[in-house]
Amino acid sequence: MRAKSVIILIFLFIAGTCYGKSLKIKRQIEKPYKSFIVVEEKTGKILMAENEEEKRIPASLTKLMLSLLVLEKIKSKEISLSDRITVSKRAAKIGGSQLFLKEGEVFTLEELMKATLCASANDAAYLVAEKIAGSAEDFVKLMNEKAKMLGMRDTTFRSVNGLPRSNHDDTDLTTCKDMAILARELLKHPKILEWTSIKTEPIRGGRFIMVNHNKLLTRMEGVVDGLKTGYLRASGYNIVATAKKENFRVIVVVLGAPSAKSRDDFTVRLIEKVYSEWKIKEVVKRGEEVSKDIILLDGKYKRLRGVANESVICPVRKTRPQVVEKELHMPSVIEGEIKEGQKLGEMVVKVDGELVGKVDVVSPVYVPKANLLTRIIRKAGLNI
């Protein structure tokens, strides 16, 4: 009997040791994400990615679409940041991360947007949606219309703040790729960085201090300057972050991390890696003269070379030489006088065979008409 007990104890010890080792191995190989993407902000070029088109629950990242619609309506002067909004009965009952709104309280739109993006306040987001569309349900329709317009083909919004409804299947869905599209559009509005870079913000006359959930603002201060985090038990830990060094801004989206720490650590690694391996290259300079002459039939000058109307930049790998192609689409001959800045054609720019931009070719000078005799002789020489 004693021998049997010893055998059982030995078996339990071995089993426990093996189980502990298996858990340790599992923890070691568990990825700190379900999907991720890193894109350059101006061109949208994907620099790194994995499972970027896999549909996942965005949680509070949903508030970024609400923010875009608000910013667009501010730009069109349909609403103002100074608009005063009274808390409704429905908004006061919204749970999760919140500002603990009380029915009848009054806040400005800007206060509510800061609460939405800094404190991730679900009740504040709900109240803003009500203000703009009349109801949260109608605002969701606007969100989906905008997503479709932007080409966010794998995104469906069902809430204004990322809170799931009672049915687990009735949640917002998106992808890393779609969130990067949304972030690029948001960054066209400088106000978004002002709001999402807030670390702490007092509200209610200083009686309530909002704290930003995005700890990378402090951890990578001076590099990371927005946008937002999100979490639900069903989604894991998410982030849409943006970082900038000199003229090189990137957007990083990580979805489905097992913890806030693993999400943040992984995001930092991605940012450091992209800046160590990539750089921004100006492949066309504004004012750069093109290589093709245009014959001026009527101009005081016989020939003219246009210049690029704007610069073209793109991200390139630091260790790899690039082949830059500049295709010119321009007429050989132009009649009439030429105005300064007049469009003469277009330059299509490719790097290593990939389209990176198009730029107008314009006249750098004003060219008046030549005298009548000169024009007749010139046309006769070209058999026109």
Write out the catalytic residue numbers: 60, 63, 120
Backbone angles phi, psi at 94, to 5 degrees: -75, 135
CA distance 20 to 43: 47
Token representation of residue 39 = 């894109």
Rounded Cα–Cα distance for residues 197 and 361 (Å): 38
Q: For residue 133, which amino acid is it?
A: A
Q: At what angle do helices 122-133 and 63-75 cross, to 10 degrees?
A: 40
Q: Are 279 and 8 within 8 A, CB to CB? A: no
Element housing 200 (H / E): strand 200-203
Q: Which residues contact 308 (CB under 8 A, 6 or more apart)?
A: 284, 285, 286, 287, 288, 290, 347, 359, 360, 361
Contact 128, 164 (CB under 8 A): no
In the numeric block, the tokens 């940012």 are attached to 271
* H or E stretch covering 23: helix 2-29
In whole angstroms, give the CA distance from residue 31 to residue 257: 8
Q: What does the DSSP assignment read for 84-145?
A: EEEPPTTGGG--SS-----TT-EEEHHHHHHHHHHS--HHHHHHHHHHHHSSHHHHHHHHHH
Whole-number Å distance between alpha carbons of 131 and 328: 50
User: CA separation (Å) from 63 to 44, 278, 291?
Assistant: 21, 30, 48
381 C-beta neighbours (distance < 10 Å), count: 9
Half-sphere exposure of 200 (CA within 13 A, CB side): 6
Rounded Cα gap, residues 101 and 121, in angstroms = 10
Closest to 47 measured CA to CA, from 322, 212, 277? 277
